[in-house]
Structure 1
Amino acid sequence: MLREINPKRDKELEPLADPGNVSGFASPAGDYIQDRLHIVQKLVKDPVSTFYFQMESKELESLGISKNALLVVDRSVPPRHGSIIVVNKDGEWIVRQLIILGRQKYLVNGRLQSERTLIDDDGIHIFGVVTWSCNPMLKLIKH
């Protein structure tokens, strides 16, 4: 299911109702006017199966996911080797990389010497695949 999202216009930023028709004549540039990009249209493929999580640790920085990153998780995407996945392990939500070696599935945190956790059927449930990671770029600097 794909929904188009059209955000409301900000009257302070766009005071004219029709900026292409100011003088009574249509602007030749009117053919190139586009709707505003809404971030959800880019990040979400299946709104019904999409969930959001916030990364609470620095464990996956080697994979490009920093602390406090917003994770977009899609349950409709099948997990495969190398996917970043959200799992529920004994009631705790964790984010790891999925490694598949033969018939065995492991969870790793991306570090070379990290401990591998074998996925067996009891205690670990794969919730969904991380499709986007939105990392914060601003940090407060105290002078």
Structure 2
Amino acid sequence: MLTILGPLAGEGAQLPLYSFRVPAGFPSPAADHIERRISLDELLDIRAPHMYLVRIEGDSMQGAGIFCGDLVAVDRSIEAEHGHIVIAAVNAEPVCKRLHKRGNEVILQSANRNFAPRYIMEGDELIIWGVVTFSVRAHEKA
């Protein structure tokens, strides 16, 4: 199950990008470490109008690092190829799966062993809505 949040707005707010990397803790982000200012649009390589956001529901893609509640950026301009994680509709039902192609066979594969692969059979309608390029996860308090 997916929740499509819609197209992205043009330009976002500019946030500081610090030049240091944080291995475990978080040192004081002193102003002299600011490398430049970037927007999340730039950081996630979001280029509207062919980009949109989807909230993932369910745990079938956990093995790919995509968890229930995550937000994914989807690019409609990328030609979906074998191995891409895609947002697709199978018989009008939206899914997030890894695309596998073997000859003429098309399989939508979960990244969780508890979910069987979805073989696209003759008579099934498969529409690829786009390729997942980034995911964003909220790290809430435990």
Counterpart contact for 2:66–2:135, Cα < 8 Å? yes
How far, CA to CA, are the matches of 1:6 and 1:55 in structure 2?
22
Number of aligned residue pairs: give it. 118
Counterpart contact for 2:107–2:119, Cα < 8 Å? yes
- State the partner residue of 1:58: 59
How far, CA to CA, are the matches of 2:14 and 2:105 in structure 1?
49
Structure whose residues are more often helix by fraction: 1
- State the partner residue of 1:103: 104
Pick one of 129, 132, 139 that aligns with 2:131.
129
1:78 pairs with 2:79: yes
For residue 118 of structure 1, report the CA deviation from its aligned partner: 2.1
Q: Percent identity?
A: 23
Structure 2 residues not aligned, in runs of 5+: 1-9, 16-32
Q: Aligned with 2:37: secondary structure? A: coil
Structure whose residues are more often strand by fraction: 2
Structure 1 residues not aligned, in runs of 5+: 10-31
- State the partner residue of 2:43: 42
How far, CA to CA, are the matches of 1:86 and 1:42 in structure 2?
21
Corresponding letter in the other structure for 2:68:
K
How far, CA to CA, are the matches of 1:109 and 1:6 in structure 2?
33
Larger Rg: 1
Give TM-score scaled by structure 1 length.
0.68
